[in-house]
Amino acid sequence: MKATYVRGTGNTRFGRIEGSTPLTLMAQAADAALADAGLARADLDGVLCGYATTLPHLMLADRFCEYASLRPAYAHGVAAGGATGGVMAMLAHELVRAGRCRHVLVVAGENRLSGQSRDQSIQTLAQVGEPQAEVPNGASVPAYYALLASRYLHETGMDADALSGFAVLMREHAAGHPDAHLREPLSLADARAARPIATPLRLSDCCPISDGAVAVIVSAERGAGTPVRIAGAGQAHRHQHLGAIDDVMQTGAADAARRAFAEAGGDVEGIDCLAIYDSFTITLVMLLEELGLAPRGQAHARLHAGEFGRAGALPLNTHGGLLAFGHSGVAGGLMHLAEAARQLAGRAGERQLSKRRRALFHADGGVLSSHVSLVLEAMP
């Protein structure tokens, strides 16, 4: 099988972008990724496009390709909730490995903040719940994650206050990125004093809703500079709804990572950079611990020891993650991949970490329902 490389990345700024549409945002991100990769439009022979809640469409990839003047040999939309970005990158990796495509554009973006009311957005997202038994209770995505959080804190003996440190760290990291949605610092005291949304989660435990787009080009050829290869990929899908989760300690995250490491070789001990989905602080804690990056109930201890900071052993979401860089749907989850690739390639500008060799990307969709792990590696 051929090697595959994350050859280019591009993103718009995240936040409120008045007058934007999913098509304009995706086009800007794609232009930036093409420039970064040193490729022309005509070089792209594959396009994978994430869904956009503000532009539901039967064939968004075709609509986008027409708008952006792309004529790929392979294109379609993909939907796996928050895992979509990683799932598209995994598919691009497979398409390139199999020889079907040489240069695949993975792109997503939407005007999730400015294109609809907050209630509309919350209602759309709530539909990941079960329509007869869950959604009619007046439940929403924060409620689903709050229920998960209550159980997880109960089983691990963690205090809700322990979650706040992750919100603070993501703000600290976002402050270093000019394109981030929430760049103002957040103190631990302010995070803990934030208004409750759904106990034990406070506003500071929830990501914002943003406009924005991200694009990544997965290629059979190395570009300029340090090549970053996709060394392994894996998924897991054990349930869709909260009512069908057997055990909050085994949601599928570890299964996906095991499959990714089976392809890449090695394990979490060899990882020195993290890109982990963080729709809520509890999401981040549950994923870090199920992935084996911290013992159960101890992710906050590693955080307080400074290990997830820029100077730590395992820098986490150095762009600020969904909690602070922002969440514009599929693009929000794809941004973690773009950031990890930039760090490994030594192209993260002022945010550049000391030399990193291997990053673990993980994302989930729904309520820890769809999982995808990717192992990225800087080539010598």
Partner 1 sequence: MSHAYTDGLDAGVVRYQCCDDCGAWQPLERHACRACGSLQLHWRDAGGLATVYAVTEISRAPADAFRPLAPYTLVLATLDEGPRVMGHAEPGVAIGDRVRAGFLRFGEGTLLRFLRE
Name the residues that contact partner 1, by CB under 8 A. Answer: 119, 122-123, 126, 130, 132-134, 136-140, 142-143, 146-151, 154, 195-201, 241-244
Q: Closer CB to partner 1, residue 130 or residue 172?
A: 130
Q: Closer CB to partner 1, residue 187 or residue 199?
A: 199
How many angstroms separate the Cα of 109 from the Cα of each of 64, 143, 222, 379? Answer: 11, 25, 26, 29
Q: CB of residue 283 vs partner 1: minimum separation in angstroms?
A: 15
Q: What is the token pair recorded at 114?
A: 């400015």
Judged by DSSP in three states, 359 sits in: strand
Q: Closer CB to partner 1, residue 167 or residue 345?
A: 167
Q: CB of residue 198 vs partner 1: minimum separation in angstroms?
A: 5
Q: Closer CB to partner 1, residue 242 or residue 368?
A: 242
Q: How many whole angstroms separate alpha carbon 170 and alpha carbon 319?
A: 8
Peptide bond into 200 cis (omega under 30): yes
Q: CB of residue 6 vs partner 1: minimum separation in angstroms?
A: 37
Q: How many whole angstroms separate alpha carbon 370 and alpha carbon 128?
A: 11
CB atoms within 10 A of CB 159: 11
Q: CB of residue 240 vs partner 1: minimum separation in angstroms?
A: 9
Q: CB of residue 143 vs partner 1: minimum separation in angstroms?
A: 6
Q: Closer CB to partner 1, residue 96 or residue 367?
A: 367
Q: CB of residue 299 vs partner 1: minimum separation in angstroms?
A: 19
Q: Closer CB to partner 1, residue 76 or residue 241?
A: 241
128, 240 in Cβ contact below 8 A?
yes
Q: Which of 337, 333, 336, 335 is nearest to 364 (CA)?
A: 333
Measured in degrees and rounded to the nearest 5, phi and psi for residue 106 equal: -105, 120
In DSSP notation, 127-160 reads: TTS-TTTTGGGT--HHHHHHHHHHHHHHHHT--T
Beta bridge partner(s), residue 273? 359
